[in-house]
């Protein structure tokens, strides 16, 4: 297994970062999770848009330009030898000292990993999953902008622990006003009257790449698709509910806080969008030229 580390492809056992790296010490950095389907890097450009925006928001200068980072990502996928893989692209502030001053970190570090991922068992897509509402609230934008996909995920991790303690795989996270923001690692959608609704980004949600794709697909199917405000009442009384994310793709939700959603089974709108997404993921993105890239 080869991992990209600051300009070189190295073996897994040689992929090491300094213990003084601010990503390790303080969660100071940004990342993306990207899927490759049959050699198609799904929406790579959108992922890079978000990565560079996140970095700009936290005053972190990525040491590679877009073309260089694109090539590094594709080369890492080729080196994996796999056509279906998950890519984790990480940019940390880089090594400094034990203080928090980012000015002591002379150069950011870039790591790219291409490996397998399976967040949910396959049968869950047919049966759906249960959610609980976490007591931990989503950090408000005036404390840490949720649209920044940063390495600091402790807020989400604490909510994930709540989910696991309740016997669930995911948890709904509310914002400081008590409205639905997102889940610990996924965006949340509800279906009502055939239309799909998801919390606006200003409610504390990350602008998920799969979230954006689903909004587009719903519109193409003639559904009303809107970003809005949602409370738990909207979730409890929805006809259908589902999650979206790079790892999850589109995951049906059948119960929330012990309440059945709709008839307690994955609904027709959710399943139609899942089918449409599975077609989209094979044709929307950047194709990897394995033989050509390997020759280079």
CB 171 within 8 A of CB 183: yes
CB 182 within 8 A of CB 173: yes
Cα–Cα distance for residue pair 257/143, rounded to 1 Å: 28
Cα–Cα distance for residue pair 251/264, rounded to 1 Å: 14
Matching residue, tokens 């928001």:
57
* Active-site annotation holds for 192: no
**Kind plus residue range of the DSSP H or E element containing 268:** helix 268-280
Cα–Cα distance for residue pair 8/15, rounded to 1 Å: 10
For the chain, the first-to-last Cα distance in angstroms comes to 18
225-228 and 195-199 as β-strands: parallel, antiparallel, unpaired?
A: parallel
User: Which of 149, 160, 192, 221 is the catalytic position?
Assistant: 149
Q: What is the DSSP letter of 239?
A: S
CB 187 within 8 A of CB 241: no
- Active-site residue numbers? 149
């Amino acid at each position: 297994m080869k991992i990209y580390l600051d300009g070189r492809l190295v073996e897994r056992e040689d992929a090491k970062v300094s213990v003084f790296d601010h990503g390790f010490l303080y969660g100071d950095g940004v990342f993306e999770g990207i899927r490759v389907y049959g050699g198609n890097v799904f929406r790579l450009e959108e992922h890079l848009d978000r990565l560079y925006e996140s970095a700009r928001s936290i005053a972190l200068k990525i040491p590679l330009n877009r073309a260089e980072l694109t090539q590094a990502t594709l080369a890492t996928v080729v080196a994996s030898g796999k056509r279906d893989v998950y890519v984790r692209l990480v940019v940390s502030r880089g090594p400094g000292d034990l203080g928090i001053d980012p000015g002591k970190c002379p150069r950011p570090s870039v790591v790219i990993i291409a490996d397998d991922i399976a967040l949910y068992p396959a049968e869950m897509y047919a049966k759906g999953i249960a959610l609980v509402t976490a007591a931990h609230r989503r950090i408000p934008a005036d404390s840490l902008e949720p649209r920044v996909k940063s390495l600091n995920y402790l807020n989400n991790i604490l909510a994930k622990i709540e989910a696991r303690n309740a016997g669930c795989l995911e948890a709904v996270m509310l914002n400081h006003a008590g409205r639905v923001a997102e889940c610990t690692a996924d965006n949340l959608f509800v279906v009502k009257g055939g239309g799909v609704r998801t919390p606006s980004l200003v409610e504390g949600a990350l602008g998920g790449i799969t979230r954006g794709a689903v909004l587009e697909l719903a519109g193409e199917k003639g559904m009303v698709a809107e970003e809005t405000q949602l409370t738990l009442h909207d979730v409890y009384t929805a006809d259908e509910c589902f999650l979206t994310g790079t790892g999850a793709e589109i995951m049906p939700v059948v119960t929330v806080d012990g309440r059945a959603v709709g008839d307690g089974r994955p609904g027709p709108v959710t399943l139609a969008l899942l089918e449409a997404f599975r077609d989209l993921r094979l044709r929307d993105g950047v194709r990897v030229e394995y033989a050509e890239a390997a020759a280079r």
